[in-house]
Amino acid sequence: MTKTPDAIHNIVRDRYAAKARSSSCCDSGDCCQTAGNKLYPKELLDTLPGDISEFSLGCGNPIAIASLNKGETVLDLGSGGGLDCFLAAKQVGETGHVFGVDMTPEMIERARASASRMNIPNVEFRQGYLEELPIDDDSIDVVISNCVINLTPDKFKVFGEIQRVLKPGKRVAISDVVSNGPVPRALKENVEAWGDCLGGALEVKEYVRGLKEAGFEDIHIEPKDASGMILSKMPVGVPFSALITATKPI
């Protein structure tokens, strides 16, 4: 695998463009867990059409840890088909606003079509890289993301962009795939593993370092499914889903 940023972007974009064109997102080996209804409470999904609620490529539920309030402005990194944006839009209400950024044109097209069909006016989808967000400085209250940062070639640059667009004192609520210890080289260099959210998984300590270097504080990372299990007890070198929160200082 040629691990230049452009090569990684192209591999990921091609893979997810194909998913955007399909009626279902999930194949064996993908980041997602068969369907969105295994990641979110049923009462949340029941408010959306089935073709939208079932189109999830995530590894968790960032909405559950975002503590969204009416009137807030939310940014979803790697918004895909728009599921998390639509759920966030309901929570921030008519006085709030949600931006979704994705680099895949087919995903943007699908998300915009869904927003139009459901008549959700407070959601806006923009095409762009997470390393160069098409979002103004100090304009966002909450940044969410669902199993996407691990797919980016320069995660520390993504952390810097998150810091740039967040208002002082505001927060991050992310679901992502990380690892306790280095991911094996064979996995890192495997094209399929990278697209499956495994090859690009960052070590927890590096994730924390990247967020700290970007200027974040109150950083917390915990395994999504291992109730009561501490990070140090997670298998070494095996990627796993985690919930990540942090705050931009005032």
- Residue-by-residue pLDDT tens, the chain, 250 positions: 446 888 888 888 888 888 888 755 544 445 544 444 578 888 888 889 998 998 888 889 999 999 999 999 999 999 999 999 999 999 999 999 999 999 999 999 999 999 999 999 999 999 999 999 999 999 999 999 999 999 999 999 999 999 999 999 999 999 999 998 888 888 887 777 777 888 889 999 999 999 999 999 999 999 987 555 566 667 777 889 999 999 999 9
The confidence score (pLDDT) of residue 28 equals 41
What would the DSSP string read from start to end of 149-209?
Answer: GGG-S-HHHHHHHHHHHEEEEEEEEEEEEEEBSPPPHHHHT-HHHHHTTSTTPEEHHHHHH
Farthest CA pair distance, the chain: 48
Class level of CATH domain 5-247: alpha beta
pLDDT at 115: 97
Q: What are the domain boundaries of the chain? A: 5-247
Q: What angle do CA 169, 176, 121 make, to 5 degrees?
A: 65
The helix (run of H) or strand (run of E) holding residue 116 is: helix 105-118
Is residue 11 classed as helix, strand or coil in its secondary structure?
A: helix
Instruction: Read off the pTM.
Output: 0.90
Q: Which pLDDT score is estimated for 72?
A: 98
